[in-house]
Amino acid sequence: MRTAYREQMAGLNSVLGSMCELAGGAMERSTQALLQADLAVAEEVITDHEKITSLSVHAEEQAFALLALQAPVASDLRAVVSTFQIVADADRMGALALHVAKVARRRHPAHALPEEVNGYFAEMGRLAVQLAATAREVLNTQDPNDALRLQDDDDAMDDLHRHLFTVLMDREWRHGVAAAVDVTLLGRYYERFADHAVLIGRRVVFQATGKTPEQLVDVGEY
């Protein structure tokens, strides 16, 4: 029974990792569509979003099956329950990438971004892809140390997001209200994408140790 549970749990984490991989790939292509005003790529992201939705349904079905068939207790139950939250986080990452693609499509053939902020979004896109890749890795390895390191890339994303607002608030901003709204929303999409990746890391820490990252720091374990 225990062997069957471990195998099914590993399979479920693999599905969750695949969701993160798809979300990262979607954000990479959405960023490309955004920076290059590439309608074909934006449409591709929008069409492919169904793959993440399907995996989300599949992951939830697997989690319910674990609860029903394996009757997990204590730490095993904690791990299974956490997977429902991870499904929601990974699904939301995919939805945020979708939002970026839809902005690029809505503004086509024009560029949604003023040229002066392209560098910010290129870097935010890179960080988002990196966070998604790390989230996938920690889901497969269940390594709390690697999971905690997701916070470092999130801090870098937060710094970029704050700097972006200094550009928007500059008196020399000359691109109008519509562009400012787009930049604000898009910046928020990238920031939230990173936040959900960090939440996945936090949930992996809890699955592996039964403690929150803050509790681990307080007791000096990490």
Q: What is the pLDDT of residue 212?
A: 78
Q: What is the mean pLDDT of each run of 10 residues along the chain (222 residues)?
A: 78 95 98 97 98 96 84 76 94 98 96 94 97 96 89 92 90 90 96 97 87 70 55
Q: What is the pLDDT of residue 185?
A: 96
Q: What is the pLDDT of residue 169?
A: 87
**Domains present along the chain, CATH in parentheses:** 2-218 (1.20.58.220)
Q: What is the pLDDT of residue 217?
A: 63
Q: Which of 139, 154, 149 shows the shortest CA–CA distance to 208?
A: 139
Q: What is the pLDDT of residue 172?
A: 85
Q: What is the pLDDT of residue 218?
A: 60
